[in-house]
Amino acid sequence: MTYTLGIDTSHHVAVGIARDGEVVARSVVQDSRAHVEELMPSVLRACAEAGIALTDIDEIAVGMGPGPFTGLRVGVATAWTLAHTAGITPRGVCSLDVVARQFADAGASAEFIVAADARRKELYWRSYGADGTPTGEPQVSAPESLPQLPVAGAVPEAYRHLFTLQGPTELDPGVLAARWETLEPAGDEPFYLRQADATVPGKPKSALPRLRAR
């Protein structure tokens, strides 16, 4: 019997557990700014729902974004820490691919896009075939520049009028846990796609006037 823990913090705090490929628990906190406070309690709630201890986890799958730097980093770092403690290798996948798998499994009939809020008036997105296979790399751009295809995923209200919306609107962490092996491996590096909002300041400039050599 194999228990798989799925963790994704590319948007909300989303945790799922699967047993031999069947979803047995989910815990989702609809808050895109509470990753630090809510992730481990969500993991423990999911374990309790599944009737297991955290030490019973055999595999860990983690969404590698794209997503905002801080929230995404919390999920990835937590997954890597739990995996290291358990002596297992974490499996990273693109978070958009999870939503694409949900749509494909539900019967998508043509090419589509999965999009998510990137803030700064932009969207993260990736294109897919009807079977959920990626047909391009994850990108970030203005909503108006996306290809004219049906769009799934967590599209902000302000941009929904621009698209033909179809399919799931949120990532299902149960699908992440149960179906990660069907997704393209994402490696060890998260999909940040752009620099963090907070950066290390450069060397401060002196407030003293420069003395000219006489």
- Would you state the pLDDT for residue 38? 96
Q: How confident is the model at residue 202 (pLDDT cuts 50, 70, 90)?
A: low
Q: Which domains does the chain have, with CATH numbers?
A: 3-94+171-182 (3.30.420.40), 96-162 (3.30.420)
CA dist 142 → 123, 124, 158 (Å): 6, 9, 12
Rounded to two decimals, the pTM is 0.89
pLDDT tens-place string over residues 102-131: 999 999 999 999 999 999 999 999 999 999
- In three-state form (DSSP H/G/I as H, E/B as E, the rest C), the secondary structure along the chain is CCEEEEEECCCCEEEEEEECCEEEEEEEECCCCCHHHHHHHHHHHHHHHHCCCHHHCCEEEEECCCCCHHHHHHHHHHHHHHHHHHCCCCEEECHHHHHHHHHHHCCCCCCEEEEEEEECCEEEEEEECCCCCECCCCEEECHHHCCCCCEEEECCHHHHHHCCECCCCCCCHHHHHHHHHHCCECCCCCCCCCCCCCCCCCCCCCCCCCCCCC
pLDDT tens-place string over residues 81-106: 999 999 999 999 999 999 999 999 99
